[in-house]
Structure 1
Amino acid sequence: MLIHFRTRIRSRTTTNPFNPLQTLIPKSSKTLKMSTTQSDAKPKRPICPSCSKPARVCLCSRIRTRNLDNSVSVTILQHSLERNHPLNSTRIAKLGLKNLNVVTVLEVDFEARFEIRLLEPGLGLIGPESSGFDQVRETEMTQKAGFEVKGDGKCQDEKNRDLIDKNENPCEKLDKGSNVDAINGEGVVINATMIKYGVVSHLSHIWKVDIHGKKPKFEHILTSTMAKEALRGGFVVKKLERKKLEGNMELELEENEEFEIKVPQGSVLLFPSQNAIGVDELKSMHFEVKNLIVLDGTWSKAGRIYNENPWLKLLPHLRLDLDKMSLYSEIRSQPKVGCLSTIESIVYSLKALGEKVDGLENLLDVFESMVGDQRRLKDERLSKRTKD
């Protein structure tokens, strides 16, 4: 079968993509539905443009101090289906924290490609390990129908391809082989491609790593001292989404930029993987946390974000050792004690890391009031149904 690639790199924003405090939200396709009569259209409830809640339950006035100047910046990777959930707590973080970046993350529907560049070009490229180019490659023919989040085993094998230039067939370019200049021509040090559920077909990088015949994984990159040192200085990750174009006899793919994120030095991922460590252990290692990355979604959605964004494996993983019930209570079920909402996780993490800014506790008060609103509205609906 002949496969054509139609490459359209569409930037989601016209502002600086490397600003860690900038909110990046991919465009979504909109379908306009026309009603047959004017009377069919139901009036929409007024929505607050700041907190995205209905005006009658607006959160804005409940926050005592907006844009708290948190010294540890926060990056939220938000599942695309979580953004409009009435109980989503990221809206509170957006109102309350100044140093915050929210990135909407889509599930991999067909295929996705990742490009990673160092914030300090040239770091980790000089030395005995850089004398050779290590390209590991795997083609996974069997797609998994589901996945299971099991700590260190979450991130499946990963894959990469060379950069796609205009009017070039990436399959042909890949088959001709790669070298350091090819992958690093635009500063790219890691290239990965994957299909659904985190299944990786190709992974290539500039460091020489002996994987002893094992399937390629991002974790293997960290066995290189030079790679670890280079990535510790921070990096930029770009995700490119590939979709099949329908209506043609031949398979055509369209590639669009989904996001580009700056991961600065001192970044950690808040995620309870098998290798995650507590705050005290992190402090004993003299690791200064400067940026906290949080996954926003239900636990299954957060697990899928983790699986389908293998670059997260390159970061230290932080866990919260708390024995607390979420303020969600019975409104939104949690799998076990210690499973918290996004805003709770952020506040407790920042406090554990030594954040001194006043007003963090108020964000939890606002969240509790939002949950109370939802509980009251739920009771009102049930009462109305009973009367009817």
Structure 2
Amino acid sequence: MQGQSLKRVGSFHKRCHPVAISPLTAQRSILYQTQNTEMATQSKRRSMCPACSKPTRLCLCTRLKVPKLHNSIAVTILQHSLEKKHPLNSTRIASIALQNLSVIPVSDVNSQARFLIRRLFNSNLERSSSCDQHVVGFAVDKYGTVLSFQDVWMMENGSQPRCGFDRLLASREAVDDLSKGFVVKKLQTKPLRGGIGLEGMLRDQDEEEENEEFEIRVGAGSVLLFPSERAVRVEDLRGVEVRNLVVLDGTWSKAKRMYKENPWLKLLPHVKLDVLDGMSSLYGEVRHQPKEGYFSTIESIVYALKALGEKDDEDSKGGLDDLLDVFVSMVADQRRCKDERLRQANQTNFL
């Protein structure tokens, strides 16, 4: 937060008449100052766990029955940039509990973003020179409207420019090629910040710069867990040996925006959870879900891995259910903290 300039008010106070302060008002003022000082001191002294990013007194690491689960199906989490620091973000549990896990920060497209996709070949095959060549390139604006689109299959066949991924998905050759795996790179376009002095003043306000936000390896057998119109139940998934589960982490509105602004996700088969009637999230009342059948990220991962046939380690004591137990305890921590803040607020108001 940028500091605000403070105006001098000393001369104003000199012209003011003295005002009598009651003992009760003075007592309250001293009490508030003491509380603020104590809170500031506690905030500075509060240590954080570097692994789970929780305060040390609420550390989640020691609650796991085993240090890491050796999940055979990899998990790739695309985490919205605003979700990481949320006290109830459940990806932190996956980070400390799953060995085969990747977490990729993803931000909103504020102006424009460009994506480049290249083929990914199996390591046991001879590396082709075309592996480093981009086969798909496209640009999107805010909320995912495709501004431009180009792919090598279109150019090789002399076809008309495609409108987007729907046309690409209609190409059997392109789908078969990309199903072997690909690497996607996102280049975020942002306005240049003003420099110092005359150079900054003269800089064109419309001038922009392009920075790489991520580069993700999407291996063969990757599927997206997202309840789109084309999503099928895990039990109905055909012709795919799932090796990697891609999950979107954020509020429901943020997850939908991530999906729209990253249309390359359409290249993956989509799966959804088979939710039983009356099944609800373990979040309870501490974090609102848009409707019944929507779950936290860690719940979704656990339920999906189980449906995909992920088995617990022989050495694990609690397996995947252990992750849910830790999540329940984290929610309970948040509920206690909330109740404690309410009690403190009521006591302050009473004084």
TM-score with structure 2 setting the length: 0.78
- Give yes or no for contact 1:35–1:41 (8 Å, CA) kept in 2: no
Instruction: Give the direction of change, closer, same or farther, for the CA distance of 1:187–1:213 in structure 2 (3 Å limit).
Output: closer
Distance (Å, rounded) in 2 between the aligned partners of 1:385 and 1:340: 31
Alignment of 1:187-226 (within 5 A): 187-208=133-154, 216-226=163-173
Distance (Å, rounded) in 2 between the aligned partners of 1:349 and 1:70: 12
Distance (Å, rounded) in 1 between the aligned partners of 2:327 and 2:3: 34
> Which residue matches 2:342?
382
Distance (Å, rounded) in 2 between the aligned partners of 1:347 and 1:250: 47
Distance (Å, rounded) in 1 between the aligned partners of 2:3 and 2:271: 45
> Which residue matches 1:332?
287
- Give yes or no for contact 2:149–2:162 (8 Å, CA) kept in 1: no
**Alpha-carbon shift at residue 280 of structure 1 (Å):** 1.1
Q: Deviations over 1:314-358 (max 9, x none)?
A: 110000011320000100010111100000000000001000124
Distance (Å, rounded) in 2 between the aligned partners of 1:205 and 1:259: 20
Letter in 2 for 1:226: E
The answer on 1:296 being equivalent to 2:249 is: yes
Higher-Rg member (1/2): 2
Distance (Å, rounded) in 2 between the aligned partners of 1:264 and 1:66: 26
- Give yes or no for contact 2:154–2:160 (8 Å, CA) kept in 1: no
Distance (Å, rounded) in 2 between the aligned partners of 1:297 and 1:213: 37
CA RMSD of aligned residues (A): 2.8
Alignment of 1:259-278 (within 5 A): 259-278=214-233
**Alpha-carbon shift at residue 32 of structure 1 (Å):** 8.3
Q: How many residues align structurally?
A: 295
- List, as ranges, runs of 4+ consecutive aligned residues in structure 1 with deviation greater than 6 Å: 31-36, 212-215
The answer on 1:231 being equivalent to 2:178 is: yes
* Structure 2 segments unaligned to the other structure (5+ residues): 7-36, 195-202, 314-318
2:321 to 361, 370, 378: 361
The answer on 1:111 being equivalent to 2:112 is: yes
**Alpha-carbon shift at residue 246 of structure 1 (Å):** 4.3
**Alpha-carbon shift at residue 252 of structure 1 (Å):** 2.2
Instruction: Give the direction of change, closer, same or farther, for the CA distance of 1:303–1:262 in structure 2 (3 Å limit).
Output: same
Distance (Å, rounded) in 1 between the aligned partners of 2:5 and 2:53: 25
**Alpha-carbon shift at residue 243 of structure 1 (Å):** 1.1
Q: Secondary structure of the equivalent of 1:47?
A: coil
Distance (Å, rounded) in 1 between the aligned partners of 2:193 and 2:99: 43
- Give yes or no for contact 2:116–2:137 (8 Å, CA) kept in 1: yes
Distance (Å, rounded) in 1 between the aligned partners of 2:327 and 2:4: 37
Of all paired residues, the percent bearing the same amino acid is: 55
**Alpha-carbon shift at residue 68 of structure 1 (Å):** 0.6
- Give yes or no for contact 2:149–2:161 (8 Å, CA) kept in 1: no
Q: Deviations over 1:163-213 (max 9, x none)?
A: xxxxxxxxxxxxxxxxxx9xx794100001111111111000011399x98
Please, which moves more after superposition, 288-297 or 219-228? Answer: 219-228
Q: Deviations over 1:123-157 (max 9, x none)?
A: 9xxxxxxxxxxxxxxxxxxxxxxxxxxxxxxxxxx
Q: Secondary structure of the equivalent of 2:153?
A: coil
* Structure 1 segments unaligned to the other structure (5+ residues): 1-30, 124-180
The answer on 1:96 being equivalent to 2:97 is: yes
Q: Deviations over 1:364-384 (max 9, x none)?
A: 000000000000110111111
> Which residue matches 1:120?
121
Distance (Å, rounded) in 2 between the aligned partners of 1:255 and 1:227: 28
> Which residue matches 1:146?
none
Distance (Å, rounded) in 2 between the aligned partners of 1:214 and 1:207: 11
Q: Which has the higher helix share?
A: 2
Instruction: Give the direction of change, closer, same or farther, for the CA distance of 1:384–1:113 in structure 2 (3 Å limit).
Output: same
TM-score with structure 1 setting the length: 0.71
Instruction: Give the direction of change, closer, same or farther, for the CA distance of 1:115–1:215 in structure 2 (3 Å limit).
Output: closer
- Give yes or no for contact 1:208–1:224 (8 Å, CA) kept in 2: no
